[in-house]
Amino acid sequence: MSDSPLVSRFRNGFPSGYTAITTEGEETLDVGLDFGIHVVDEGETIRARDPKEAAWVLLQGDAQIELAGERVLVHRASLFDDRATTLHAGPDTSVTIAAKSRTEWAVVRVSNRRAFAPRVFRPEECEREHRGAGLVQGACEREVRLVFDRASRPRSSLVVGEVINYPGRWSSYPPHRHEQPEIYHYRFTRSEGWGHAELGDLVFKVHANDTIKILNGDDHAQVSAPGYGMYYLWIVRHLPGAPYTGFTFDPRHEWVLEPGEQGWEPER
């Protein structure tokens, strides 16, 4: 148990099987989600049927998914160059995953009484948006990928997406906030890579396999060290009566969104 929003004890990687990172209902800093990494070894088949809603985001490898009588081959070689394949299932839905190579999945589960049809979101369905181009000398240019949100999965309790944070640049910028809890799970282009995660006035150094819990409407801007691309999976949990529909920028820094306001530039 830890009272820090940074979960950093898995920097050496994840073993075979499921490793829990957060648990719905935990005593401190509860984001209301079960989140963890499931490593499925080559040749292994797992069968899951959970009473909770579940999303399985493929991080690496090749597998065959069987869902609602459909069999789908999935593949991901790179978090940075390949968009996500995501399996999304409602409560009490059977899922079978047969690993064709060592596969790694980020798995999130949340209590949800609403039933809905399962779906595999393929990479071409993962929306890509380049944000920050032309702003503040390119300092916050990044790629944001949306897997699903309330518009595409209205009965879900989750919003799931990814960010590709370019080396030495900022994302989730200018600083923004929302009342719904969220987690970020990090990876880097090199094992020694790092970045910094802001939660309000607190700053945490983040490495590969770290997870940050975002609570209490804290601002949460991010930056990657120069030379290191930073990936993070982001997962927001809708609140009862207050679904996530977007965020609010810190008004003190909204000026950076104006292309004509590039900020101070040194003479060269």
- DSSP structural state of residue 209: T
* Residue burial 41-55, b: 16+ Cβ < 10 Å; e: rest: eeeeebebebebbbb
Residue identified by tokens 């999304």 is 88
Are 86 and 147 in contact by the 8 Å Cβ rule? The answer is: yes
pTM above 0.95, yes or no: yes
Alpha carbons 64 and 62: distance in angstroms, whole number: 7
The model's confidence at residue 268, banded by pLDDT at 50, 70 and 90, is confident
pLDDT at res. 242: 96
Are 59 and 232 in contact by the 8 Å Cβ rule? The answer is: no
Full set of structural domains in the chain with CATH: 9-254 (2.60.120.10)
Q: How many helices (H) and strands (E) does the chain have?
A: 0, 22
What is the end-to-end Cα distance of the chain in Å, rounded?
A: 51
The model's confidence at residue 107, banded by pLDDT at 50, 70 and 90, is very high
Tell me: the pLDDT tens digits for 67-104? 888 899 999 999 999 999 999 999 999 999 999 999 99
CA nearest neighbour of 226 among 191, 268, 193, 185: 193
Instruction: Calculate the CA 149 to chain-centre distance.
Output: 13
Least confident piece of the model among 1-10, 107-116, 131-140, 175-184: 1-10
pLDDT at res. 155: 97
**3-class DSSP state of 256:** helix
Tell me: the pLDDT tens digits for 203-257? 999 999 999 999 999 999 999 999 999 999 999 999 999 999 999 999 999 999 9
φ and ψ at 257, to 5 degrees? -80, -5
Alpha carbons 224 and 187: distance in angstroms, whole number: 11
- The one-letter code for the residue type at 168 is G
Average pLDDT over residues 170-174: 97
Average pLDDT over residues 30-45: 98
Are 174 and 220 in contact by the 8 Å Cβ rule? The answer is: no
